[in-house]
Amino acid sequence: MEEIKVKYFHDDMEELCYVDGKSDWIDLRAAVEVTLKAGEFRLIPLGIAVALPKGYEAHIAPRSSTFKNYGILQTNSVGVVDCSYCGDGDQWHMPVYATRDVTIEKGARICQFRIMENQPKLVFTRVEHLDSPDRGGFGSTGK
């Protein structure tokens, strides 16, 4: 099992943990209270810096209830933090766009993350034809 070192920027931050039996994603919380007006962009501090092991990255995404509860959208849809972002000042943030006026309380669970192994090195080869059957070109339905 890998050990992950986490720096907390506030003494009263809840420590990272799994939600037992529900998911292998880990919730992240707003480190400060943030008030946004509709149409405003902000980087919400998440109150942690993490030293990921070499060869790993973190994927950050909104929780399923984030838009319903707060009316915010993560502006880059999913965030990727690579292992080079590991210093004492490398606090994680969630870039958001507010669709309505909202106050997000300190400690509110607004996003989640998981740690993934980096994609292996791949070689891309140009071909004239692929060897698999054609499914129709878009999504699982082909329409």
Q: Do the bridges between strand 48-51 and strand 5-8 make them parallel or antiparallel, or are there none, so unpaired?
A: antiparallel
Residues near 110 by Cβ (< 8 Å), separated by ≥ 6? Answer: 28, 29, 30, 44, 62, 63, 66, 70, 72, 94, 96, 104
- The owner of tokens 């880059």 is 76
Give the whole-angstrom CA distance, residue 27 versus residue 61. 10
- Residue 67 has φ and ψ, to the nearest 5°, of -65, -45
Give the whole-angstrom CA distance, residue 132 versus residue 78. 30
Give the whole-angstrom CA distance, residue 115 versus residue 111. 14
Helix (H) or strand (E) holding 68: helix 66-70
Mind telling me the catalytic residues? Answer: 82
